[in-house]
Structure 1
Amino acid sequence: MLSAEAVCDLYRARWQIELVFKACKSYLNIDKLGNCGLYQLECLIYGCLTAICIAFLMYSAFYIEIYTLHQRGISMLLFIKLWADEASTISENINLSLTAIQEIYHILTRISKHSLHEKRKRKTTLELLQEYYLPKINYQNVA
């Protein structure tokens, strides 16, 4: 059903999956649960999974926004690393006041801009996969 070129691009997507695991292990510390009881272990696992979901949700949202503004993607590894570095500041501001929300948005925007991919002549694997599997999206209307 797919062309040889599409199959090769899809095969390269496995590296994107490896990057997700690397980000979780290196920057979100899912491999450092320590020696604890069953209930503490469950809490740590659920906490890690919650952090992973929030981090990748933020990455996805800001990827679209930054791509719209700069026509460049952002590095997932760098975004997750910087997000983890700022996690305590972000969590301190989660009281849902307008200034707190603006502060979190400002932090995530700064992280996204620092995570920009260098300008390239060739497309990234993610951009190639988007061409094959995602409908053409007008990102100006999404944000």
Structure 2
Amino acid sequence: MSYEVRWEVPNRIIYQRFHDVVTVQDVQNAQAKVIALIAESDGVVHTIVDLLEVVRYPRNLMEIREILNRRTRNDAGWVLLVNRNPLLGFMSSVVTRLAIQNSRFRVFATLQEAFDFLAEQDKQDQHADQAKQEESVNPDVENAS
């Protein structure tokens, strides 16, 4: 087993790590766990996929695409890939964009960069939510003048 899948932040951020020699079966099993975790949450769930320690990976893009395409919800949050291998990064980007419609996808060189990015996104989301709440509480503020 060349993978692990767990909540990094319960019901909010999934951490998915692949290492060593990754097989199609590893990807399939890991994706099944991701789907189960997403189903546990009723909110937006972000996924961080750590590929830093991968030595060899499946090269059949269509097979991997089919596995990833089994995601149950399209309202998932960001998919953040952590990787320094340009070829693996390119392949992962193509497969993710094909498999998960409307996915928000970014690649980072370190886990810290990925976590920092999500923290910044959360701040922006909180500001947007607060602005929406203020607008719904007092919708005529702009029209009062």
TM range (shorter): under 0.3
Structure number with higher strand proportion: 2
TM score, norm. by length of structure 1: 0.26
Flag the structure with more relative contact order, 1 or 2, with Cα contacts below 8 A and sequence separation at least 6: 1
Structure number with higher helix proportion: 1
